[in-house]
Amino acid sequence: MEGEVLRLCSSEEEGLVCFSVRSGWDLWLGAQGLWAGDEVLASAVTHPDMVRIISEHGLRAVPVDIDPGMLTPRPCMLEAAFTPRTRVVLVAHLFGGRMDLGGVAKFARERGLLLVEDCAQAFKGLKRMGDPLADVSMYSFGTLKTSTALGGAILRVRDREVLDRMRWIQASSYPSQGRGGYLKKLLKVIGLVAVSRPDLYGLLARA
């Protein structure tokens, strides 16, 4: 099944299917071999669990403000947040849009930093899976996403050695979701969709 998903995304050599973007992010950080106290520059607007996972790896999350008009990290703020302990830049594409990674990628490359893009809100179809400027691209297909599979994520990892370590960690220590767990989620979502239909919802409201 995983091979079929990755073939659809043309990501057989660079892809990994995960339970969620958060579990994939956890896998990637675990496979990097970063030192405690190393820093991750992160978009100030992001899911709080992404920051929590950074902390659980003994790393320090450093928030970077974004331009409210372009929804991209401000170059001056990236520069101000950078220290000799900085190792990673994590940027999130927000509200279904995609930022131009050119400026952020240039900043990261000039300083030897890894660039990770969180595309959980920015899936544009199978033909546009990840910006080649990023070291890692992460896509979510959770319940609230426009293109939902009621769960799951795909990561595109350019470093093959890191990807192999992620696959080994996932296979050896991560639990897999069984059919029963997915069926339970599916039935719950079907129920929520059913009661949100206008006629049924109106009946419930009147009751």
User: Tens-digit pLDDT profile for the chain (207 aa)?
Assistant: 666 656 665 566 788 988 889 999 999 999 999 999 999 999 998 889 999 999 999 999 999 998 888 888 888 899 999 999 999 999 998 877 788 899 999 999 999 999 999 987 777 766 677 788 999 999 888 676 767 666 788 899 999 999 999 999 999 988 887 777 777 777 777 777 777 777 776 777 778
What is the model's pLDDT at position 3?
67
Q: pTM of the full predicted structure?
A: 0.84
DSSP state at residue 100: -
Report whether 23 contacts 153 (CB < 8 A): yes
Report whether 45 contacts 118 (CB < 8 A): no
Distance separating alpha carbons of residues 141 and 9, to the nearest angstrom: 13
Distance separating alpha carbons of residues 150 and 144, to the nearest angstrom: 8
Helix axes 160-173, 21-32, angle to 10 degrees: 110
What tokens were used for 198? 């206008």
Distance separating alpha carbons of residues 203 and 178, to the nearest angstrom: 36
Distance separating alpha carbons of residues 63 and 78, to the nearest angstrom: 9
